[in-house]
Every structure is written in C-alpha cells, then in structure tokens.
Amino acid sequence: DQQVKQNSPSLSVQEGRISILNCDYTNSMFDYFLWYKKYPAEGPTFLISISSIKDKNEDGRFTVFLNKSAKHLSLHIVPSQPGDSAVYFCAASGNQFYFGTGTSLTVIP
C-alpha cells in the first residue's frame, strides 16, 4: 500500500516559470517530509525538508508547502531553470522513510 503518492509522473514547464510538484500521503503520524532530486545514473540528492509542525519552508528558489488537513505536500520551484530537469521524489518519515514514485520534471529553455 503506497503511503506516499505522486500522481503526476511527468511535468513540463517553460524556463523562468513556476514548477509545482505535488505529493499526497495517507499517514497522519508522519513527522517529517522531504524532497529529493534524482538525475539519471545518480542516487537521489536531498533538496529541502519540512517538519510536520510547520506549513512552509523556503530555501532559495525552492519552497515546500505542507497542508496537514489535506495530507498534501507541494514543492514550488521559482524560477525554473533547465538544470532543474530531473526526477523529483517526495518522502515522508515515520518508522522508516516512505517514498513516492517520482515526478519527472522537464524545464524547456
């Protein structure tokens, strides 16, 4: 049973525009949420995280929003750059890390 879901397998965005990647989860006991970025032939790299006691965390061009009532997490990238093209995984931390299936982001120059 997938406890963390990313329902959009792919997303294309023009360079300079906003990219919004979404993630839903089922377990209200998760206490920490993370986003990872993965390039081909490399392992995922940590991007940004948010504690369940917060609703927003910002780091440069990346902002993560958490809506606990909706059990929904989103990552905003503004402005999007071609180098942001990668697969993005959201993850939730409980007794273990649960990962979504990933969203492939393509930023078009």
Partner 1 sequence: KAGVTQTPRYLIKTRGQQVTLSCSPISGHRSVSWYQQTPGQGLQFLFEYFSETQRNKGNFPGRFSGRQFSNSRSEMNVSTLELGDSALYLCASSLRREGNEQFFGPGTRLTVL
HEC secondary structure over 9-67: CEEEEECCCCEEEEEEECCCCCCEEEEEEECCCCCCEEEEEEECCCCEEEECCEEEEEE
Minimum separation from the CB atom of position 15 to partner 1 (A): 27
Nearer to partner 1, 6 or 63 (CB): 6
Binding stretches for partner 1 (CB under 8 A): 2, 6, 31-32, 34, 36, 41-46, 49, 51, 89, 91, 93, 95-102
Nearer to partner 1, 53 or 109 (CB): 53
